[in-house]
Structure 1
Amino acid sequence: MDATGTLDEALERLHRSGPERLGRLTNHAPMAVEALAARGRAGAVHRWLDLYARKLEEFPSRVEPVTAADWRSALGEPGRVADWIGFFEREVSERPWRDVLGRWWPRLLPGLYGGSTHPVIRVGHAVRTLLSGEVTEPRLSELAHGLGYWAARHRPVTGLAPPARTAGADGAAAALDAVPRIAVQDGGFPARLDRVEVLPVWAGAVVEPAEAHRRLTELVRAATHRYATHGHGEETMLVHAATAPNAVLRVLPALPRDLWPSSLRSAWTACAAVTAMYAPAVAVPCAAPGGLAPEEVFELALSHGDEHVIKLTDTALDVGDAPALAAALRSMELTPPMG
């Protein structure tokens, strides 16, 4: 992790901006700059951020403080995002950050799907930084921003009644292949999510933490590989089928082990739901990465500049095999570069 102070400078700069823009689009900069720093490209952070800055909006106004007594009434209220961020800034200043995360993770996990899964992805990047390097005030504040964004955008999936679930599958790749596409392929993320009614059973019976970790690792790998052949269904939104479960995987080491199985189940539901919402009807073959090393692929992602490309490539490097690198390169083909 960056030891130059560049990441902390970038986070301080970004914390003057809100987590969204235009009322619904996510500010991806905190996640992207963390990925750059984590991959040894801290020297490019401010240059990339200068290009992205036109997408940033001012930090939103506060309404009234969220408290330990009334937090339930503010959960899932996007207009209270500044209040929620303030709440978590107080929490991480008064308690060890792992304790705060462990207390709030099970409360927030059922609403992982709000904000198109971006809040949990932001938390995953923040936790990786805290686990990998020095615990600094900007990095703690970044965790607070991620948790606050998640609480404000908290959005459960309510239409998945157990009798409606299809039969299970042996592995993550087969389970994703078995996900039925929703019938109406239009509208934004919330509208499509409301149409998801049937998902394969795959992770529901897991109770052992070690097995949950193994399956979640398998799911991230399968979803990343799948992007190479299915990403053309929606080049941006299908990135989240891989990056959302990978965010959960990154958080697991900071959580009590008894929370790992439920984390797997929520990550699977998110990955499968995004697959149902955006996957194309047919797969398209994808070329191999042609001998490129992982660091070369990440350099290509940085040159491309798009925030989703950077984040998917970051996940692909976590997976670390040739099909994952091919998925990263495919995202560069499908996505317009940063202008």
Structure 2
Amino acid sequence: MTLEEAYERLHRTGPEFEGWLSNHGPMAVESMVRHGYDREVHRWLDSYIARLDELPRATSPIGAGDWRAALGDPHRLGDWLTFFDRELGEQPWRAVLETWWPRLLPGIAAGATHGVIRTGHAVHALSRQQDETRLAELGQALGYWAARWQAIAGFGAPSGTAGPGLALAGVPRVPDQSMGINHRLGQLAEIAGWGSSLAVLRPAADAEQARTRLTELADAATLRYVTHAHGSPVMLVHTATAPTAVLRVLPALPAEVWGASLDAAWAASAAVTAAYAPAEAASRRDLPVVPGSAEEVFDLAVRHGDEHVIKLADTALDVHHRTGDPDALAAVVRAVTLIEPFPS
């Protein structure tokens, strides 16, 4: 019941705080519980919740016929949370997801990709067990995504021949690497080579290929973090966690939307790479040594306490399990060395 207790505490808070920062609490605690760190959850939350804002209130109901006008309007956040709470009370959660996933997917940049990442964690939890608090968490995730819905310039189906690792390496950097993510993403349409870099990925011929390619993307982004994290240790985490979130949702979706899901995840990972990647990779001589097993590395992330490190560790353990590549674990150690620990 630890996850349910944590969700109940967190659902009294909003999806954002300090104006625009994403509430990572639900994502971090879901990762911690799934990896056996139930006893650490409430202690971690005691510190984390103090930062958060109250749950926003609804002011104007969103109806079935006028949702498009409210999409991407952060002032309607409370309205969107209420909308999805109602939807999930009236329909099975998979039916709600099937309807709204294609509507939300083109706006995958929402909240610096946190809309889709929180949805991925919520679906992962619901797929193991269904109850009221887990349904409420999916509603909060979808509502946040809808309110912050944000498209990526040049978004479309790729048509090239490159695998995800090579494709990520060819993404151009935005010229002005200052200010926040919206300022950076706003430059994408004007970058020479941006559209062609999105197109270069090898497309999937069917649903199973889409899942395979999405797995390869999550793997490549995680391994690339080791040598490129210094560009922005926090933001570049999302190049890996966003496609991982999409990958985890696939089993709950019809196979016919898996290809579009790959395309959106690729656009998100490429966009964050363009926005924050450093000019040069770090030398392998300067990289950290992995201190132990995968379980010890996740323990290191929990003791560090930063929510991004915990989420990256959750993804990295999946990558390490699939590939056996020690760089997957090194990515977590790299994040620990670069990101300030969260005070407990």
Question: For this structure pair, what is the TM-score category when the shorter chain's length is used for normalisation?
Answer: over 0.9
Paired position in structure 1 for 2:313: 313
Q: Of 56, 62, 66, which aligns to 1:60?
A: 56
In structure 1, give the amino acid aligned to 2:149. Answer: H
Tell me what 2:207 maps to: 209
Residue aligning to 1:143: 138
Match of 2:302 in 1: 302
Do the aligned residues in 1 keep the contact of 2:158 with 2:202 (CA within 8 Å)? no
Deviation by residue 1:229-250 (Cα, 9 ceiling, x = unmatched):
0000001100011101111001
Taking structure 1 as the reference length, the TM-score comes to: 0.94
CA distance in 2, matches of 1:166, 1:298: 34
Deviation at 1:291, TM superposition (A): 6.0
Q: Distance in 2 between matches of 1:276 and 1:299?
A: 31
- Offset from partner CA, 1:268-315 (integer Å, 9 cap, x none): 000001001100011112646546111110000000000000000110
Counterpart code for 1:154 = W
Query: Residue 160 of structure 1 corresponds to which residue in structure 2?
Result: 154
Q: Deviations over 1:3-60 (max 9, x none)?
A: xx01001101100100001111111101100110111111111011011122111111
Look up the equivalent residue of 2:146 and give its one-letter code. Answer: A
Does the C-alpha gap of structure 1 residues 176 and 14 become closer, same or farther in structure 2, counting only changes over 3 Å? Answer: same
Provide the alpha-carbon RMSD of the alignment: 1.7
Q: TM-score, normalised by structure 2?
A: 0.93
Which string of whole-angstrom CA distances, capped at 9 and with x for unpartnered residues, describes residues 53-84 of structure 1?
22111111211111111111111111111111
> 2:42 & 2:291 partners in 1: Cα distance?
30
Separation of aligned partners in 2, 1:194 and 1:166: 21
Q: Deviations over 1:244-274 (max 9, x none)?
A: 1111001001000000000000000000010
Q: Do 2:70 and 2:76's aligned partners in 1 also have CA atoms closer than 8 Å?
A: yes
Change (3 A) 1:66 1:331: same
Q: Distance in 1 between matches of 2:103 and 2:186?
A: 21
| Superimposed CA distance per residue, residues 138-161 of structure 1 (whole angstroms, 9 cap, x where no aligned partner) | 00000000000000000112x328
Residue 169 of structure 1 deviates from its aligned partner by: 4.9
Q: How many Å apart are 1:176 and its aligned residue?
A: 0.6
Q: Percent identity?
A: 52
**Corresponding position of 2:327:** 323
Map 1:15-54 → 2, pairs under 5 A = 15-54=11-50
Q: Which letter does structure 2 place at the counterpart of 1:298?
A: F
Secondary structure in 2 matching 1:113: coil
Deviation at 1:207, TM superposition (A): 3.8
Moved more, 67-76 or 99-108: 67-76
How far the C-alpha of 1:202 sits from its partner, in A, is: 3.7
Query: Residue 256 of structure 2 corresponds to which residue in structure 1?
Result: 258
Pairing 1:91–2:87 present: yes
Which residue of 2 is the match for residue 82 of structure 1?
78
1:172–1:202 CA contact under 8 A, matched in 2: no
CA deviation after TM superposition for structure 1 residue 167, in Å = 8.9
Please say if residues 84 and 149 of structure 1, whose CA atoms lie closer than 8 Å, have aligned partners that are also in contact: yes
Q: Which runs of 5+ in 2 are unaligned?
A: none
SS in structure 1 at match of 2:59 = coil
Q: Does 1:185 align with 2:189?
A: no
- Report the CA distance between 1:203 and its aligned residue: 4.2
d(CA) in 2 for partners of 1:306, 1:246: 19
How many aligned residue pairs are there?
Answer: 331
1:125 maps to 2:129: no
Q: CA deviation at 1:95?
A: 1.0
Which residue matches 1:108? Answer: 104
Alignment check: 8 A CA contact 1:288 1:323 kept: no
Could you tell me how far 1:205 is from its partner in structure 2? 3.5
2:9 corresponds to which of 4, 8, 13: 13
Match of 2:239 in 1: 241
Alignment of 1:175 with 2:171, yes or no, is no
Instruction: Give per-residue Cα distances to partners, 1:195-227, cap 9 Å, x unaligned.
Output: 113142244742410110000000000000000
Q: Is the 8 A contact 1:127 1:143 kept in 2?
A: yes
